[in-house]
Each structure stands twice: as structure tokens, then as C-alpha cells.
Amino acid sequence: MKKHLTKADIENLERFPKVNLINSITGYKSANLIGTKSVEGISNLAVFNSVCHLGSSPAMLHFTLRPHTVARHTYENILATKYFTVNQINASIIEEAHYTSASFEENISEFETTGLTEEYKSSFLAPYVAESAIQIGCEYVNTYEIKENGCLLIIGAVKHLYFEENLQGKDGFLNLEKGETVCINGLDAYALPNPLARYEYARPNEEVKEKILNGDK
Amino acid sequence: MKKHLTKADIENLERFPKVNLINSITGYKSANLIGTKSVEGISNLAVFNSVCHLGSSPAMLHFTLRPHTVARHTYENILATKYFTVNQINASIIEEAHYTSASFEENISEFETTGLTEEYKSSFLAPYVAESAIQIGCEYVNTYEIKENGCLLIIGAVKHLYFEENLQGKDGFLNLEKGETVCINGLDAYALPNPLARYEYARPNEEVKEKILNGDK
């Protein structure tokens, strides 16, 4: 039996039940840590559940920032320095990843408070998380303001990509389960996916065919 | 050992290995079916891996559309009728969900070709997927064109929300694993998440505390 809530019912919910509910309705979200550096040289790390693929040629991604969030240090650093990293959260660092959402003071690095390892390579300004199996070095491209609620959509271009070699199948695909990449439900629930199936490109009037799961066709 | 690809290395990859790789790097994506109806009365259903939460007050979501995709029927119908539904994909319908990505002709409904059940309720124009444990009736709000690659970001407002009552915890949270909601890796891999932990709101200089997983605090 399904429960039905109208727009008005949702608006009338108390703040936290509303936030918990509405953050779950679109399904699971990606789980990433965004690493930046301030012009004063302080590194910053923040958990994001809104990083999404935006295109492969050129390789770009986007994420959203709510108005007045504590993660504003991330955005200020990106605007000031033009670079940031995206680091996938795996099952062994979910507690540390969540702890980056606490409102630390501006002169304190979340790498220090969480114990996650700050990594620099290929002369890239922003810090990577050494514990992540997949790391992306991004250049800031643009911001779109969503005028309906003041959220910001930030676009980044992929300049560097690092991933554990054993994750990749012969068709290019990354087996995220081998890196124990997690996903997020709502604001605060971390989950570990298990692969079910991959399917071939679908065509009308043909049955859907399964692919080899790991991409080694 | 991590493999390193620069922007130029990625650009030089062949088309399909590049698409497979870059679609995996941001982690798992949400798995939803968007239901629409044309002005001629033909229903349409299409799988999307880019639906994201955009705010709780008011409740809004967004998804992206690549230029020249087969899913353009979805967008044309949304512009013409102003309404669409978002239906979570669960483990029992992943093959049907994937089959909606085939390029069916305009006068053919994917509900017919997949066998998924078309559902109408509360005088809402767009069709829901009866098999989905979580269904959202949305009103079209706006489109933002991402000028860097021609992608469209489409914003919808939540008008109706339906979910299986047993999914919800006392704090509002939806236990997606009870509905067997899946997520997507890359273009074509479906995975089923298992919950690991929920955490309390994080505060500086306090240990991260676990919450009861199902939201029944």
C-alpha cells in the first residue's frame, strides 16, 4: 500500500522529516570528497552527494551547492584557485568522509581532523585523497545559478584521472565494486552496491542481452 | 597501483572505451524511469541515470539530457504538457527499464513494449510505473542549457509523492533497500546497494555517532 503526499502535505511536514524524506525520493546518490586549497594554502575536504557525469567528450562533471551551506569553503577555494579534486568514497572511509561535513573553522584542514591522507601529484594545485581508488583532478569551468531556489550548479572539466588498474574492464568500464565505492541515501546513509547485471545497447524488437559484468567482453 | 590519464589521453581514447570509462568515474548514479504523455496521447517511458535531488523546500529535482539523445521524446512531451513522473527502478524491473532506451518509433509506448504497468492517479496527466515502490509526480519548472556541451538541465517541482509505507522510518527517511531500489554504474550496469551505516549530524571535535539505520530513532 502506497502513502500519498501532495505538494501541500510535503510543505507542511516538519523540517527534519521533510529533509530526510525528500533527500531519499530520487534514489541513491554518488559519494565523493571534493578537495580544494585556499589562496592562503589551507587544504579543504568536503563530502558531496551531488557529483554527476555531464559528458565524455570533453569529459565534464557537475555538482550542486545549496545556498548557505558549510561547504562554501569548497566553492570559495574553487573560484579563487580554479582547481579541485573529486575523490570516490569507499567503504573503509565512510566515517571520515561524513566527519568532513562538520563546520570546522576556516584555518583547519579536514585532512588533519579526519586523518585522511593528503596527496599531491602532477603539479596539480588541489589535494587528492590517497585512500580513494578513483581520483579526478578538475578545472573549474562555470557556475549556473538555479534561480528557483538559489542553488548553484558548478561545472568542472576533467584534467587528470587516476584509478586502480584492477578496476578496469577491457571495454573501458570501471568495476566500482572492486574499489568498494559506496553510494548515499538521503543525507547520512552510506550503502555498498553489489552488481546485478550489465546489458547490451537496447534495440527495438530485440530481446535485451546481458553483457559480461566486469567489462571483459 | 593507479593508472594516470591526462585530459589529452582521455580525448585520444576510442569512443566506446571513453564513454564507458568516463560514465563510471563519478560513482554510482540514481536509476529512474521518467514517464510522460504526448499531446497525441501516446505515453512514453525512458530510463535516466541523472535524476538528482535539488532541494526540499520547495521539493525539487533535476536531470540532464544530452544533445541528440533518443530520450528527446521525454523532453518534447514535458515541454508540451508540463508534467512528468519519476519512478524508481527496483531490482525486479531492471531488464524492462533498460529496454526503454531502445529507439522506438514515436507512436509506440514503452509501456507496451516493456510490459511495465501504466498507472494514472489523482487526475495527474503523466503515467506512473505501477511496479515502482517510489513514484513522483512532477511539474516542469525550467531548463538551463549547459552551454559548454549543449546538455540541458531540466528542473521539476514535486506535486505528488507516493511510496510504499513500510519504507519510511520515524525520522522521515526512506529505507530504499526495502524497496530494492537499484543504482547505475556507467551506462548499462545495474547494482543493488546494501546499507552500511547512518551517521548523526557531524560536529567539530566530537566523534561521529552512528544512527539507527532504518530511521526509527
pLDDT tens digits for range A105-164:
888 999 999 999 999 999 999 999 999 999 999 999 999 999 999 999 999 999 999 999
CB contact under 8 A, B24 and A176: yes
Q: What is the pTM of this model?
A: 0.97
What pLDDT does residue A68 have?
A: 64
A8-22, A62-76, B69-83: which is most confident? A8-22
CA dihedral A45, A47, A49, A50 (to 10 degrees): -20
Residue that the C-alpha cell 572505451 belongs to: B17
C-alpha dist (Å) from residue B73 to B35, B89, B107, B147: 10, 20, 11, 21
Q: Is residue A41 predicted with pLDDT exceeding 80?
A: yes
Interface residue A2 vs chain B (CB under 8 A)? yes
User: How long is chain B?
Assistant: 217
Q: Work out the average pLDDT over A57-63.
A: 97
CA dihedral A33, A37, A38, A43 (to 10 degrees): 80
* Predicted ipTM beyond 0.90: yes
Contact B210, B165 (CB under 8 A): no
Confidence of residue B121 (pLDDT cuts 50, 70, 90): very high
How far A205 CA lies from chain B's nearest CA (Å)? 8
Confidence of residue A199 (pLDDT cuts 50, 70, 90): very high
C-alpha A149/C-alpha B169 separation (Å) is 27
How far B191 CA lies from chain A's nearest CA (Å)? 4
What pLDDT does residue B150 have?
A: 94
Q: Within 13 Å of residue B213, how many CA atoms lie on the same side as its CB? A: 11
Q: Is residue B70 predicted with pLDDT exceeding 60?
A: no
Q: What is the phi/psi pair of residue B5, to 5°?
A: -120, 130
CB contact under 8 A, B199 and A135: no
How far B96 CA lies from chain A's nearest CA (Å)? 8
What pLDDT does residue B55 have?
A: 96
Measured between CA atoms, the residue of chain B closest to residue A210 is B95
CB contact under 8 A, B94 and A215: no
Confidence of residue B26 (pLDDT cuts 50, 70, 90): very high
